[in-house]
Structure 1
């Protein structure tokens, strides 16, 4: 099974990195779902929750204050000024 390498980066640190089966986020143009093999994309994110479904373990909800989402070759990077993830 293919996976995504997902990274959440805040202004001052890398918050989380791990393998995921999918990611769901809200962009300025609406909600987007990212699965392995997704086309490269760069989007502006709005404030709210980003949902990550890890390859192993339970789904995680990450609060961001807006930012950017980049997808390229199954690497997803979410960059925001503030990133809050429970347990991190």
Structure 2
């Protein structure tokens, strides 16, 4: 038996197929989901979604915060944005990370600092998603 995983952004469906297992980052830590998981709705943090496919391969995806609903072997993830690791350009991700770090260093005031920290977390997550897919945890 498998789980049906659907990852949605405001603009598109990023994933819609059966999987064996997922590991996702919630606001209170990581959770793993297998078949027959207890029903839950949870807020998601900016982080990496790890997906074990039915052929036992693992795939990673960068999630940019949102919500997940789990129940009846169906997982629906609604996020602000999501990118599969294979869709992330490593050079562009590294460049974005450098820019985000520089912007944080020159941020002035509370608002700029908060926005720069958020951009840095997003950039780091994209780079870490690529590294996770290479290392295959």
Contact 1:62 1:84 in 2 (8 A): yes
More strand per residue: 1 or 2? 1
Match of 1:17 in 2: 16
Structure 2: distance between partners of 1:77 and 1:21: 15
Identify the structure with bigger relative contact order (alpha carbons < 8 Å, sequence gap 6+): 1
Contact 1:3 1:21 in 2 (8 A): yes
Structure 2: distance between partners of 1:60 and 1:40: 24
- Is the partner of 1:56 in helix, strand or coil? coil
- Displacement of 1:10: 0.9
More helix per residue: 1 or 2? 2
Structure 2: distance between partners of 1:50 and 1:87: 13
Contact 1:9 1:16 in 2 (8 A): yes
| 1:4 to 2:3 alignment | yes
- Indicate the structure (1 or 2) with the bigger Cα radius of gyration: 2
> How do 1:41-60 and structure 2 match up within 5 A?
41-56=40-55, 58-60=57-59
Runs of 4+ with deviation above 2 angstroms:
none
> How do 1:31-50 and structure 2 match up within 5 A?
31-50=30-49
Paired positions, count: 87
- State TM-score, norm by structure 1: 0.91
> How do 1:55-74 and structure 2 match up within 5 A?
55-56=54-55, 58-74=57-73
Contact 1:18 1:54 in 2 (8 A): no
Structure 2: distance between partners of 1:65 and 1:86: 13
